Amino acid sequence: MLIPNSLRMEYMPKMVYAIVRLVGSGQYTADELRKRITASVTRNYDDSSNDRFGMLLTFALDGGFIREKNGYFETEFTDEELESFPEFTYALLGKLIIQNNNMFDAMLKYYLSSDQTIEGDYTGTAAKFREKSLEDPKVKSFRIEEDNVHGFFFWVEALGIATFESYRSGHLYFCVEELLLRCINKHPEFKNLGSMPTKQFLDLIQRDLYFIPFCCADDGNVIMYPLSQALRILDNMGVIALENRQDSDQMWHLPSSRVFSKNNTFTNVRVC
């Protein structure tokens, strides 16, 4: 699955969820889906020019959230994953696959490699993010507009990767620690693995959190600010322990922190 390159502010995550959840509840044609979601059945679903339902359905199809088979729609999301919006978005993080030519992934990699918060009213924040992100050649190649940034913010917030200080205003903060804690709580078997090499730990959590590679530098064992902050918080809480093993030849580095005084290097992670 992927977040399609048609990403715009119209493709609200909860609206996409509504379509996917309906598809998961039974066998429906496009017109039947439309009838159950909207008050109008006058347009064919692939006429998306002025049709919000058609646009959302196409977005869900292009992203692989749903698929059409013999005139009906189906989804790989389970009933449990569709039980609530938070369950859906968390499950989606484990189904998304990093794409080389994907706008959302390029923007997310840029964002997660940053150590800066972005602040201002919602429109101002979008403008600032667009201006800064265009310094990255991979992001610039997509010729993103502010509508794309709004759509990006909607999905980043829905996926739980970041949150605004207040309702879509103020600072935009990373909150990767909440996702990491949920991942660890979902997998109690991690505790049985003892002191794991950091690469093994990262590979394990990437199964649930597809974006983890974006949190690591391309040219070495350096963990970028959003994930390093999450690791330090969970280490401070006693959920995990960042350890140094003399028998390991893989040293990992965290950016310096003014809040956490613990060593900035470690080799292993233990889930406590």
* Residues 84-93 pLDDT 10s: 999 999 999 9
State the Cα–Cα distance between residues 230 and 15, nearest whole angstrom.
Answer: 30
pLDDT computed for residue 51 by the predictor: 75
State the Cα–Cα distance between residues 170 and 165, nearest whole angstrom.
Answer: 5
pLDDT computed for residue 168 by the predictor: 61
Higher pLDDT among residues 193 and 247, named by residue: 193
Tell me the CA distances in angstroms from 145 to 8, 87, 148, 201, one per residue in order.
9, 30, 5, 37
Q: And the tokens for 19?
A: 């379509």
User: Structural domain boundaries of the chain?
Assistant: 13-94, 103-174, 177-271
Give the ranges where the chain is alpha helix by DSSP (H). 13-24, 30-37, 52-63, 85-95, 103-112, 122-133, 137-140, 146-158, 176-186, 198-206, 225-237
User: Which DSSP symbol is given to 162?
Assistant: E
State the Cα–Cα distance between residues 165 and 163, nearest whole angstrom.
Answer: 7
The answer to whether 64 and 57 are in contact (CB under 8 A) is no
pLDDT computed for residue 150 by the predictor: 86
Q: What kind of fold does domain 13-94 have according to CATH?
A: Arc Repressor Mutant, subunit A (1.10.10)
Share of the chain above pLDDT 90, in %: 56
Using the predicted structure, report yes or no on whether residue 189 has a pLDDT greater than 50. Answer: yes
> Rounded to the nearest 5 degrees, what angle is found at the Cα of 133, between the Cα atoms of 131 and 137?
115
DSSP-assigned beta bridge partners for residue 196:
269
The answer to whether 241 and 270 are in contact (CB under 8 A) is yes
The whole-chain average pLDDT of the chain stands at 86
Using the predicted structure, report yes or no on whether residue 14 has a pLDDT greater than 70. Answer: yes
> Rounded to the nearest 5 degrees, what angle is found at the Cα of 212, between the Cα atoms of 111 and 97?
95
pLDDT tens digits, one per residue of 23-68: 999 999 998 998 888 654 455 545 444 477 888 899 999 999 999 9
Tell me the CA distances in angstroms from 214 to 117, 140, 210, one per residue in order.
17, 17, 9
Sign of CA dihedral 161, 166, 167, 168: negative
pLDDT computed for residue 48 by the predictor: 45
The answer to whether 169 and 27 are in contact (CB under 8 A) is no
State the Cα–Cα distance between residues 269 and 196, nearest whole angstrom.
Answer: 5
Q: And the tokens for 93?
A: 């993080």
State the Cα–Cα distance between residues 144 and 142, nearest whole angstrom.
Answer: 5
pLDDT tens digits, one per residue of 222-259: 999 899 999 999 999 999 999 998 887 889 998 876 55
The answer to whether 228 and 254 are in contact (CB under 8 A) is yes
State the Cα–Cα distance between residues 199 and 146, nearest whole angstrom.
Answer: 36
pLDDT computed for residue 121 by the predictor: 57
Tell the residue number behind the tokens 């909150």, with chain if given.
175
